[in-house]
Structure 1
Amino acid sequence: MLTGGIHVKAKPSYRADIEGLRALAVILVILYHYQVPGISGGFIGVDVFFVISGFVITQLLERAFQKDTFRFRDFYARRIRRLVPVFLLVSTATFLMISPFYIGDAYYIFAKSWLASLIGLSNLYYFNELSQYFAPETLSLSLLHTWSLAVEEQFYLLWPASLYLAYRFGKGRTAHWPFRITLVATFVLSVYMASALLITKHDHFPGYNALWPTLGTAMVIYAGLHQPATFTARLLSLPVMVFLGGISYSLYLWHWPPVALMHYQLIELTWLNRLLLIAGVVALSWFSFRFVENRYRHRDWSFTKSFLIFILAPLIVIWAIQSTIRIADDTSFRIPEERRELYKIIANNNPADLYKRCFKGKPVEFNQSDACLFGAKPADGQPNSMLIGDSHAIAQIGFIEQLLKGTDYSVLMVTRASTPFLPPAIAEKAQASDPTKVARNQALSDYLSQRPMTVFIGAWWSAYLKSEHYQRYFVDTIGWLKAHGHTVIVMEDVPELPSSSYAECLLKNMDDCSISAEDVKKSLANFYRFKQNAQQRYPDVQWINPRKVLCDATRCQTVLNGIPLYRDESHLNNVGGIEIGQEYLKRFGNPLTSSEK
């Protein structure tokens, strides 16, 4: 048969070397995910799988076309019985495994990804919802690896129909040009996006780099068609490779969830842990291959029966689980009692939720009622101060409230997610793509133009200040506030954690919840540059630094007096903010009643 202009033989003979290729592919992926030194691009094993699958499925379809026995319902029934039973086993075991540990968004994200994985859309789910593959947060996503299964399942939807039409109406010979066009188009798209994976953090993948593993695999398969006794084929046909190739699908499914849980629990991947993981995963994979894969894949069930048992029924159950987690996840049956109070501090004390009236209301008509007033009662009914900024500003309200005690500051809190304060002329340049943010800052500027006051300003400094433009924008913003007669107090940020998992350090029973002060200092390089420039131009601006409580010369704490301080990698929880404020007053006095700058 002609496929993309290449003739593929349709011999139904067993290929031991292809089993060996499967083994090589899964070994590369496992070594990469287990962070074995020197395996920086091991995820190319996924591309090896794709090539093998394409070849095997094309052969299967070719044989069916030649015998005139191909039926779409039979094809998809076999695919369901081949792929889904083991997935259901692994994903259900994973759900049970992570339930005592995953909390908040991490648990809900698992439930959503579980549903997306079952219906073959997890690649699109992760593409839309999550950050890039190498971001630390992705390491604890237990079903992240199912993106490749979704790609394969989408291939099963498109390729059989395309091949059938070409064979039926072009007899496989005159209709090869659509495949050439598709090949070129998908290659160009892959080079353009380069979004799913990277060979290293500097090499684009997919893209032209995908050619090397895919072409190499194709050449090995092609050579085996004509010269089955090559040295490469003999190596790939060794008994250990054939064994691992036979259980490679189960190996691929089982290998990632336990290491994702280890990442979530901040357990180090030592050599002993790697070896134990590999041994356990091989044992589980043999078991699931022997008693699940082989039990169902050869059963002569209809498409309707296969679909009802392995797709529809589990879909309903998983949807119910997801809905329960979203609406009323009761942690009492999952989280041990001694850890439940810690969980509540972390998960139930988000200032953006506690004070959502001051954060999530209408962008222009911001709340000016007593509900958003903190500190002293206004003498004339008008606050003499404001806290403005984004989610990092509101995250510090517990800290700021402690400083307000005993002072005459009456603070109106006006914050909004991802919307740092910028005066109109700057906002129109910096936030031109989001008119809502421009309108918000125009309304704030109008309010601030009415009378002088003290302005506390906060933001996710480390994120914005990566931009040279924002380096200037924020200095000019301070200038605008000063020009309108305001006293400016800049709220510095707390240290950013390596991942949100560190916020739950106490829940993970870790002995040391601190992070490197040197790493924190490096992450603040852009902020220090901004601060220096601002201090040179406006030396009377006051800077309040909560890191003084948390960091010494070597370490920065994420826990203070037994209280977890964070709710994620960069935001304080409200109880944590209060604790930092109280500790700040004990150690350094109140900067609002002293001459500290």
Structure 2
Amino acid sequence: MATSDAKREPVVTVIPALDGLRALAAGLVVLTHAAFLTGFGATGGLMGRLWSRGDFGVAIFFALSGFLLHRGLLAADAQGRFDVVGYGMRRAARLLPAYWLVLAAITVGATPPLRDVVIHAAALQIYWPDAWIGAFGQSWSIATEIAFYVTLPAIVLGLRPLRRRSAQAPLVVLCVLAVVLTATSGFGGDAVVGEDIFYDRWLHSRAPHFLLGMICAETVLAPSHRVSRALSRWGGDVAACLAVAAGAYLLATTPVAGGLDLSPGTATDVVVRTALSGIVALGLLLPLTHGGPSAYRAALSHPTVRYLGVISYGLFLWHVPVFIGLYAVSGVEEFTGALLPLLALGLPISVGLAAATHRWVEVPSSRLAGRHLARRRGRQAERREHEHSDTPLHR
């Protein structure tokens, strides 16, 4: 093992193209819900199947979260600034206000049962078999994301002893976990909508996608490990990465990955989809985290694409209620077509609401949390200074 690995510290650099990748993921999610609501997924042939498999955008979101958050916590831990309370406040401020705003709008417009509203407000809907709000069905992934947020600090702390012994050990552990959890991701398959819990939405089933991002972050600390060298080599071949991602995506539209509807399918279906969506997410992420300049990176770094990535969380939250609301207002039955009108009207409205939510909710709440944490750090520094000056040596 190379001793130089143990002396490395993670470097947090801004990668503009990751915002663009987030926009791409959001676009895939929008397409899959448009295909489902209009029936295009069942009637549109290959194009319909491609749109229906846009749920793989969620795997991309999870891999991005794994990379960015794990990298940030590793840097904080290496610099002695590991603050679980501060981390939790920043995550809550980033996620919950916008989430609650959209849930409130749906509650007023669709009047779902109060029980379901309360369960969704607590982001616990994936743990109940019948807690379902149709206009907010995509919110299940927020519950999974929050489960990851809660678990990640414990993982970073748990890897500390291994990291002290070898910088490469955590990377090995994460790789093994990714393989094992992919193989077991189908636990609880064959669930019936409205009757059974969808275990494929729990963290254990989606963890491989988060772990892929975490593995990419860990390679900075262990560049000499064969996994790190392989990822760097693959990331440098942009065409190959995109071709593999495209191939895995196309394969996932065939029966080998199960159906394209809301049901999770069999345990085997879940495992296959977990593996294929992981390949897609990794193939799209690697050229940005481990590759150099490329047309792909430049396209995702374009200011317009980046902005769509910045507001993608609001787009993710708003597009389903907007789509369903348009059906309700127009009187057109769901699953009966109207794909182009739905996108022509629903997409601009969703983007506008996302932009407004980002500006007036997400940014202010994040700034408020940042100011509170800055004051908290100031008070802690004053306390330490006071305690230091009050020691016998300084009297």
- 1:81 to 2:93 alignment: yes
What is the rounded CA distance, in whole Å, between the counterparts of 1:114 and 1:179 in structure 2? 36
The offset of 1:239, in angstroms, is 2.5
Q: Structure 1: which amino acid aligns with 2:178? A: L
Deviations 1:205-252 (A, max 9, x none): 532222233223223333223433122212222222211111010100
Change (3 A) 1:205 1:251: farther
What is the rounded CA distance, in whole Å, between the counterparts of 2:94 and 2:278 in structure 1? 24
SS at match of 2:156: helix
The offset of 1:175, in angstroms, is 4.5
Contact 2:10 2:78 in 1 (8 A): no
Contact 1:19 1:236 in 2 (8 A): yes
Taking the TM superposition and a 5 Å limit, the aligned residue runs for 1:92-107 are 92-99=104-111, 107=112
5+ long unaligned stretches in structure 2: 192-197, 201-257, 377-395
TM (norm. structure 2) is: 0.64
Q: Structure 1: which amino acid aligns with 2:79? A: K
Provide the residue aligned with 2:245 in structure 1: none
- 1:69 to 2:81 alignment: yes
The offset of 1:183, in angstroms, is 2.3
- Higher share of residues assigned strand: 1
The offset of 1:92, in angstroms, is 1.1
The offset of 1:301, in angstroms, is 5.4
- 1:207 to 2:210 alignment: no
Deviations 1:505-535 (A, max 9, x none): xxxxxxxxxxxxxxxxxxxxxxxxxxxxxxx
Q: Structure 2: which amino acid aligns with 1:24? A: L
Provide the residue aligned with 2:174 in structure 1: 179
Larger Rg: 1
5+ long unaligned stretches in structure 1: 100-106, 131-137, 307-597
Q: Structure 2: which amino acid aligns with 1:87? A: Y
What is the rounded CA distance, in whole Å, between the counterparts of 1:205 and 1:287 in structure 2? 39
TM (norm. structure 1) is: 0.43
Deviations 1:386-425 (A, max 9, x none): xxxxxxxxxxxxxxxxxxxxxxxxxxxxxxxxxxxxxxxx
SS at match of 1:68: coil
What is the rounded CA distance, in whole Å, between the counterparts of 1:12 and 1:283 in structure 2? 31
Q: Structure 2: which amino acid aligns with 1:61? A: L
- 1:32 to 2:51 alignment: no
Change (3 A) 1:225 1:177: closer
Contact 1:48 1:217 in 2 (8 A): yes
Provide the residue aligned with 2:343 in structure 1: 274
- Higher share of residues assigned helix: 2
Provide the residue aligned with 2:130 in structure 1: 129
The offset of 1:81, in angstroms, is 0.5
SS at match of 1:212: helix
What is the rounded CA distance, in whole Å, between the counterparts of 1:193 and 1:234 in structure 2? 41
Q: Structure 2: which amino acid aligns with 1:200? A: L
What is the rounded CA distance, in whole Å, between the counterparts of 1:199 and 1:45 in structure 2? 17
SS at match of 2:364: helix
The offset of 1:199, in angstroms, is 5.4
Provide the residue aligned with 1:492 in structure 2: none
Q: Structure 2: which amino acid aligns with 1:159? A: L
What is the rounded CA distance, in whole Å, between the counterparts of 2:158 and 2:279 in structure 1? 26
Change (3 A) 1:45 1:220: closer
Change (3 A) 1:259 1:178: same
The offset of 1:290, in angstroms, is 1.0
Taking the TM superposition and a 5 Å limit, the aligned residue runs for 1:172-571 are 172-176=167-171, 178-194=173-189, 196=198, 200-201=260-261, 205-261=269-325, 267-268=333-334, 270=338, 271-299=340-368, 300=370, 302=372
SS at match of 2:289: helix
What is the rounded CA distance, in whole Å, between the counterparts of 2:284 and 2:342 in structure 1? 34
Equivalent pairs, count: 280
What is the rounded CA distance, in whole Å, between the counterparts of 1:298 and 1:122 in structure 2? 28
Provide the residue aligned with 2:145 in structure 1: 152
What is the rounded CA distance, in whole Å, between the counterparts of 1:9 and 1:212 in structure 2? 32
Q: Structure 2: which amino acid aligns with 1:58? A: H
Contact 1:10 1:59 in 2 (8 A): yes
CA RMSD of aligned residues (A): 3.0
Change (3 A) 1:233 1:98: same
Name whichever of 147-156 and 261-270 sits farther off: 261-270
Contact 2:123 2:142 in 1 (8 A): yes
Q: Structure 2: which amino acid aligns with 1:293? A: E
Q: Structure 2: which amino acid aligns with 1:153? A: I
- Flag the structure with more relative contact order, 1 or 2, with Cα contacts below 8 A and sequence separation at least 6: 2
SS at match of 1:143: helix
Deviations 1:153-206 (A, max 9, x none): 001111221112212553354355543443233212213444557652589653
What is the rounded CA distance, in whole Å, between the counterparts of 1:242 and 1:177 in structure 2? 33
Provide the residue aligned with 1:45 in structure 2: 57
Name whichever of 83-92 and 115-124 sits farther off: 115-124
Deviations 1:12-57 (A, max 9, x none): 2221211111111111111111125421211111111111111111
Change (3 A) 1:9 1:272: farther
What is the rounded CA distance, in whole Å, between the counterparts of 1:245 and 1:149 in structure 2? 17
Provide the residue aligned with 1:358 in structure 2: none
